[in-house]
Amino acid sequence: MTLTTENILLVGSILLFLSLIAGKTSYRFGVPVLLLFISIGMLAGSDGIGGIYFDNPKTAQFIGIVALNFILFSGGLDTDWRSVKPVLGQGITLSTLGVMLTAGFLGVFVWAVTDFSIYEGLLLGSIVSSTDSAAVFSILRSKNLALKGNLRPTLELESGSNDPMAYILTIVFTGIVVNQQANLLSIFPMLLQQLLIGGILGLVIGKLGSIVINRIELVYEGLYIVLVIAIMFFSFSATNFIGGNGFLAVYISAVFLGNQELIHKKSILKSFDSFAWLMQIILFLTLGLLVFPKQIIPFAGIGLVISMVLIFVARPLSVFISLIPFKIQKRSRWFISWVGLRGAVPIVLATYPLIYGAEKAHAIFNIVFFISITSVLIQGTTLSVVAKWLGLTLPENLKPRTQTDLELNDSIKSKLKEVVIPATSSVVGKQIVQIGLPKTSLIAIIKREDSYITPHGATVLNANDKLYLLAEDNDSEKEVLTSLDIPLHKSEN
């Protein structure tokens, strides 16, 4: 079967439905859902029972780039700056130096044991050098791993920020392999330019985006989701246009936005969580369709060897060397080494040599695909076991409480306070998002004359509004009253 404009929606809807059913049953057997998504794509492909012929790396690459925008942006929105800040140094080191070391160690090994040139070996190493954000985010969150210390934010920060380095290395070595006259030293100025422009623009666009979201007045709540999507794509494309790394800009802008008070923030977060899952399914299905299983079989042997060296040698060496300046327990270093999941990103990067016509592009693609499958299968299914074996999981009674739809904020609220906004308060006429409520509190409901209002960020406070406040403790309660410009003696219980 060939995909056409007439049947693509029918085929796509069936594959999406099968993926959801597979995802639902995967938890019972402990198999990562991403592996099932890609398996369904392979079964539906030309070598599978579906017989769908799809052999278009450019289309797959475009789908991959769009999907990674949503996945990285969603991961950035969910990143708590307070938890990431203490591990910023080690996270950035892992996502830069760690990626370069992994690419170098694996590239030299591939050059030594195969007929690949040194540059082809380094190209292969670069493609699989970063941990996959889609795999790490989904597996850590689906398994609800409660890890000791700052392990979880470290892993999420690394996986969310190391794709740019792998992308840069892949582009450079693809150019060197295709054009033998290229200069290896060009990697350093390009690397600096991509990271600096990507980081700065990501921060600037995030700041401007928060201002636009809070100040623009859109008629429908759903349009705010569209606005955030526009900001996301603008941060990627504008950064790429002027020579920066778009993936880094997308992630940084999302981290900034996720830690600001935004209008309809809850709806934005929920929507992007859904988008991320949808894009993961579409991405893995597309890559599953792109691969021809019969072509992978001849590379299974060398692919397994390279994968084992990556998992047990190259990744641990790069992690231990990168973390030398930091005081981290050895068992934590081993666990960080083990969470070196390779998933969709390496397969997307492997399309670049195909598109540019590198001599061994097909061999590289098939080996990378095999590495990604074995990584998710071996490491993804054993994260919980390894964490427990290393003694890095929290006891059941100390695990963070899982949020439900009944929780209105990230913190557990315990104090209810009823206050009235005096006519003299400076917050009269202001939107809730503008008054700077502490993150440990919120306004649950507003009574205005004889009606009750469910508040959101754009709600304007009026004089004599009666607010029902939820606060975490006495200190939070005092901060709320200060933000509302209400003297403590005027508040009423």
Q: Give the single-character DSSP code of 430.
A: -
Beta strand pairing status for 466-471 and 415-420?
antiparallel
Residue 48 resides in a domain: yes
Same domain, 343 and 437: no
Kindly report, residue by residue over 169-211, the tens digit of the pLDDT. Answer: 998 899 889 886 566 676 778 888 888 999 999 999 999 999 9
Kindly state the average pLDDT of the residues 297-309.
92
Same domain, 369 and 429: no
* Helix intervals (H) in 179-322: 187-215, 222-241, 246-258, 265-290, 293-296, 300-309, 315-322
Same domain, 435 and 479: yes
Name the token pair of 426.
């400076």
For position 328, which CATH number holds? 1.20.1530.20
Kindly report, residue by residue over 210-222, the tens digit of the pLDDT. Answer: 999 998 888 888 8
Same domain, 394 and 419: no
Question: Is 126 within 8 Å of 107 (Cβ atoms)?
Answer: yes
Of residues 319, 310, 318, 313, the one with CA closest to residue 368? 310
Residue 408 resides in a domain: no
Same domain, 428 and 390: no
Same domain, 70 and 181: yes
Residue 249 resides in a domain: yes
Same domain, 77 and 133: yes
Same domain, 179 and 284: yes
Same domain, 192 and 339: yes
Q: Name the β-bridge partners of 469.
A: 417, 443
Instruction: Give the C-alpha separation, 229 to 227, whole Å.
Output: 5
Least confident of 94-103, 105-114, 200-209, 407-416: 407-416
If you search the block for the tokens 């299968």, which residue do you land on? Answer: 377
Q: Give the single-character DSSP code of 115.
A: S
If you search the block for the tokens 């380095």, which residue do you land on? Answer: 165
Same domain, 287 and 168: yes
Same domain, 148 and 192: yes
Same domain, 104 and 247: yes
pLDDT of residue 439: 73
Other beta carbons within 10 angstroms of residue 331's beta carbon come to: 15
| Domain stops at, among 398, 429, 448 | 398
**Domain, as residue range, for 453:** 415-490
Q: What is the pTM of this model?
A: 0.76
| Domain stops at, among 367, 398, 429 | 398
| Domain stops at, among 371, 398, 425 | 398
